[in-house]
Amino acid sequence: MITKEKIKNLINECETQLKDLFEKADEIALKNQRKVLDAFINNRISTHHFNFSTGYGYGDSAKEALNRLFSDVFHTEDAIVSPMIANGTHAISLALYGVLRPNDILLSVCGKPYDTLVEVINGVGCGSLRDFGVKYHQINYRNGAFNLDEISKYVKEFKPKAVFLQRSKGYHWQKSILNRDIKEVADIIKSIHSDCIIICDNCYGEFVEELEPTDVGADIIAGSLIKNPGGGCAPTGGYIAGKTKYIELIAKRLTTPSLGNEVGSYYSGYLPYFQGFFIAPSVVRNAIKGCLLASKVFSSLGYESLPAHEELPGDIICAVKLKSKEQLLDFCRATQKISPIDSHVTPYPCLMPGYKNDVIMAAGAFIQGSSIELTADAPIKEPYIAYLQGGLTYEHVKIALEKLVECLI
């Protein structure tokens, strides 16, 4: 029987062993914070940008400033940052529907996309891309990396309109994608087919590295504001950033072809969006440290875990292979019990929109479903993998690990 004191000692030992990686995470956070601060200053963000808008939202200077801010930080020509975007899946869907047309080919180079995107791409009779005549092909990873030979061959032969890649591991047992990987595959694709649109699902990846996918070849990135870039403050929304010619098409999908990004109001005000984006580099750093510590602790207990500990990961998710369904449920419920909100609630698996298996979600968060806050979720299927992510503060993750280790021993 391991005592609570021994558990604390184990966590502290793992923390000491991660010192070098933690220092690298601090360096990246400093660089990203400088980049964000410069963007706030250069775009002359003022208190009047926190004001709300009503009705059509014409002349909404706050919305325009927020778009410029994201575009500046992500080094793109334009951006859409909107509370009207429901989540990351919605943002990515808007990007896909915005640029793809009947008989176009969409190629996924990272295998099967995240569960909630499958029906968007390949559903039948639901208004999917397939229903609108968009063709789809996917190339799976080979040995945990892009299958560059097969990608090159396919792009050369079929000239897909767009290539899709997903930065995070999603509900898969694999490494998350680093920007150096994105650069390698983007360079190859563009050398063969320069007009190909590279679209990146950036969820869970913002501010994890010094660079973003748009710095290394992606034409469009999309993500959720209740993940990394919202800093735990944004109450809802999503973003899409990229080249102007694509953002304009996507804006016409968000609203209507005749209106684009000219309309759209938000009565609650924009303060949490600006504030969340400003603190996001620091919050993401906390989540990265928590992710690394969790993976190190679980692996030291004999569980397979990702990320590995040789380098910083490409997202904020720690995946742990557990031994049974019961252990998986206990893990997620322990996460709920050590949450600041709804700690007294017991989560149960259920079928959720966009998923084929029952899913359990522990989310004792200030913002519903906010996975930049410490949360855990998992599909109920073998192998029983728990996905632990987020952490507004590193200290919360460290304290929560005590409870999570207890439930596993």
Confidence band for 98, pLDDT divided at 50, 70 and 90? very high
pLDDT one-digit tens code per residue, 172-219: 898 999 999 999 999 999 999 999 999 999 999 999 999 999 999 999
Q: Which residue has the tokens 């919360």?
A: 396
State whether residue 97 is helix, strand or coil.
helix
The per-residue b/e assignment along 139-170, b for 16 or more CB within 10 angstroms, e otherwise, is beeeeeebbeeebeebbeeeebbbbbbbbbbb
Task: Summarize the confidence of residues 287-292 as an average pLDDT.
Answer: 98
**Cα–Cα dist 313/292, whole Å:** 8
**What pLDDT is recorded for position 355?**
85
What is the phi/psi pair of residue 95, to 5°? -60, -45
Confidence band for 294, pLDDT divided at 50, 70 and 90? very high
> Token digits for 116?
């909630």
**Do residues 307 and 288 touch, judged by C-beta distance below 8 A?**
no
pLDDT one-digit tens code per residue, 138-147: 999 988 899 9
Q: What percent of the chain has pLDDT over 90?
A: 94
**What pLDDT is recorded for position 155?**
98
Strands in 78-82's sheet, in edge-to-edge order, are 78-82, 238-242, 220-224, 197-201, 162-166, 105-108, 135-138
Helices (H) and strands (E) in the chain, counts: 11, 12
Task: Summarize the confidence of residues 1-13 as an average pLDDT.
Answer: 92
Complete domains list, the chain, with CATH: 4-32+277-408 (3.90.1150.60), 53-268 (3.40.640.10)
Task: Summarize the confidence of residues 130-145 as an average pLDDT.
Answer: 94
First-residue to last-residue Cα distance in the chain: 8
CA separation (Å) from 377 to 252, 326, 336, 366? 34, 14, 10, 17
**Cα–Cα dist 303/1, whole Å:** 18
Q: What percent of the chain has pLDDT over 70?
A: 100
**Do residues 303 and 386 touch, judged by C-beta distance below 8 A?**
no
pLDDT one-digit tens code per residue, 46-82: 999 999 999 999 999 999 999 999 999 999 999 999 9
Task: Summarize the confidence of residues 269-295 as an average pLDDT.
Answer: 98
Q: Is the pLDDT of residue 308 over 90?
A: no
Q: For the chain, give the mean pLDDT.
A: 96
Cis? peptide before 307, omega within 30° of 0? yes
Confidence band for 1, pLDDT divided at 50, 70 and 90? low
Rounded (10°) CA dihedral 342, 345, 351, 357: 100
**What pLDDT is recorded for position 347?**
96
